[in-house]
Structure 1
Amino acid sequence: MSWLWKRFLDHAKSRMTERLALTSYPIPAGFEQKRAMTGPRSRRSEVTTTSWAVKAPAIRQARAACVEAEGPPHVLNFVINPDHHYDLPFFGADLVSLPGGHLIALDLQPVLKRDASHTAPVWKRLQPVFERWRSRLPDGGPIPQEAEPYFSKGFLWTRLPLDDETSLETTVFPAFVDYLEIYLDLVCEARPVQGDRSDALLAGQRRYTDYRAEKDPARGMLTRFYGSDWTEAYIHGFLFDLESAQTSSQSGLP
């Protein structure tokens, strides 16, 4: 079985390459690819986690964590982290296939949710796209109250049966395409900000990445596959690396 989310990541790479001036983003040693054997002794199978990352003007880091096994899980966690000198949201796509079904989450996540000057221009573009695709997918259910500050009104969240490949093809993929295209439009149109605004954006980004690093739902799965030490290093040193990246930048490290 091929990796379920390959088409999604291939599309994202292609559109970003076409529209942005991408350069490589350093992936710490040991995180590029990780393999392990999982499952009961009678049915052992290999699971592989592969990482990809780039950067561009207005984008501090765009990265993907890809988990692939012979059966579920198949996971694509794709996040675009904006440079805090640009008034941009995050792009977030969590595409997860587990034995119990598919979990799909797409959003242009606000850095400053209570700031209308930050959220209104995004919602104006996202609202018709969100309403189009939301009407074709079942609601995924409530999210934790503590997570609400980190999602927009356009948060597309659904659960699908494992055998529903039709919805993945006809609804989830085009929704992913639309959300990403809106985000790339915003990036291409963004202009630098400075001073207090840049500081506020950086503080908002830190709140989000700190929350995600603490509450990352993949922690249990990754720990089961690769152990706690590697998992914690991967979460803080690659998936949500804003703090370590800022520390490196301030100390003059590459």
Structure 2
Amino acid sequence: MTPSLPTHPCSLDPVTLPGWRWGPFLDHAVEALQPLRPEAYPIEPRFLRREGLTGSKAHPVAVTTSTWACRTDKLRQVRAACVEAGMAASVLNFVANPSSNFDLPFFGADLVTLPSGHLIALDLQPALKKDQAHTIRVWERLVPLWENWTKLLPSGGPIPSEAEPYFSPGFLWTRLPLGEQGDELIRSAVFPAFVAYFDLYLQLVAEATPVEEKRCEELLAGQQRYVDYRAEKDPARGMLTRFHGAEWTEAYIHEVLFDL
């Protein structure tokens, strides 16, 4: 079950989606964030929980999209977009957006179940890919984790060349089949990899110290490029549009998921 949280505005309310596959992952992240004393991140009520239908008129499938979000003194926004639509889709998109006052990468996790299988992506994503001062201390600690877990999981295949600047050398990307084999790999490899990646991220957050104003401006510009790219290329756009309509989806992408 999702850990109990203090009474607070509803962006910190626990996510409850019956049958949702990815609950234990969000549970771990929420609990791991508690020492940082998270506060609710402001989100309009219309984006906190949205229900709809997909499938045919003869066989409709209920869809629920919920949002969990917080902020801390070093993280501008930590948010989870959670979708449960039975056999049609089960999704957790979890992203930690750092404050530009600290030289930190983004944390990103995409955990997706579709009728074709499971799509898993984990990374500590750079704001300034070609800046060694920003990346080398992260890569030195992240790549050994990637080496440990990638050998247990099949490759997800190539990524578009235009996307490469927004991923790290520790980008863990895999496709798993539905059924017992995929479920076992999620338990034995994907979940502990998620824990290891997020624990490393929180260690980096704990160690981060404020940067000077010029560096802050460089980081903010890099973060803006990342957020703009993610908003433009969000692979969930088509799915969310089918579930909830184009107007709500575009507002959700730009005002919640990638709101910088």
Same fold (TM over 0.5): yes
Aligned to 1:250: none
* Residues 131-170 of structure 1 aligned to structure 2 (within 5 Å): 131-163=147-179, 164-170=182-188
Check if 1:204 corresponds to 2:222: yes
Aligned match of 1:229: 247
Where does residue 7 of structure 1 map in the other structure?
24
CA offsets 1:178-218 (integer angstroms, 9 cap, x no match): 00000000001100012210000000000000000001000
Question: Which residue is 2:65 aligned to?
Answer: 49
Aligned to 1:67: 83
Query: What residue in structure 2 maps to residue 173 of structure 1?
Result: 191
1:125 correspondence with 2:134: no
Decide which moves more: 169-178 or 120-129. 120-129
Do the aligned residues in 2 keep the contact of 1:126 with 1:179 (CA within 8 Å)?
yes
1:89 pairs with 2:105: yes
The offset of 1:71, in angstroms, is 2.0
Partner of 1:245: none
Whole-angstrom distance in 1 between the partners of 2:45 and 2:24? 27
Task: After TM superposition, give the deviation of residue 72 of structure 1 in Å.
Answer: 3.2
CA distance in 1, matches of 2:239, 2:94: 17
Matched, 1:16 2:33: yes
Structure 2: distance between partners of 1:236 and 1:70: 26
* Cα contact 1:107–1:179 (8 A) shared by 2: yes
Identity over the aligned pairs, expressed in percent? 59
**CA offset digits 1:219-247 (Å, max 9, x no partner):** 000001111100000000000000xxxxx
Moved over 4 A (4+): none
Q: Tell me, in whole angstroms, the C-alpha distance in 2 between the residues paired with 1:72 and 1:192.
A: 44
Aligned-residue CA RMSD (Å): 0.8
In the alignment, the residues of structure 2 paired with residue 227 and residue 241 of structure 1 have an alpha-carbon distance, to the nearest angstrom, of: 19
Q: Deviation digits for residues 25-83 of structure 1, max 9, x if unmatched?
A: 01123000000011012211100000000000110000000000222300000000000
Distance in 2, matches of 1:145 and 1:180, equals 26
The corresponding residue for 2:12 is none
Q: How many residues align?
A: 241
Given that residues 53 and 64 in structure 1 are in contact (C-alpha distance below 8 angstroms), is that contact kept between their aligned partners in structure 2? yes
Could you tell me which residue of structure 2 aligns to residue 252 of structure 1?
Answer: none
- 1:246 match: none
Partner of 1:80: 96
Task: Give me the TM-score of the superposition, normalised by structure 1.
Answer: 0.94
**Structure 2 unaligned blocks of 5 or more:** 1-17
User: SS state of the match for residue 67, structure 1?
Assistant: strand
Paired AA for residue 220 in structure 1? G
Answering whether residue 256 of structure 2 is matched by residue 238 of structure 1, we say yes
Q: Which amino acid aligns with 2:217?
A: D
SS at match of 2:147: helix
CA distances 1:102-122 after superposition (whole Å, capped 9, x unpaired): 000000000100000110010
Which amino acid counterpart does residue 8 of structure 1 have in structure 2? F
Contact kept in structure 2, 1:28 and 1:237, CA below 8 Å:
no
SS of 1:210 mapped into structure 2: helix
Whole-Å Cα distance in 2 between the matches of residues 183 and 155 of structure 1?
A: 14
The SS at the match of 2:46 is coil
- The amino acid of 2:28's aligned partner reads H
Instruction: Work out whether residues 103 and 158 of structure 1, in 8 Å CA contact, stay in contact via their aligned partners in 2.
Output: yes
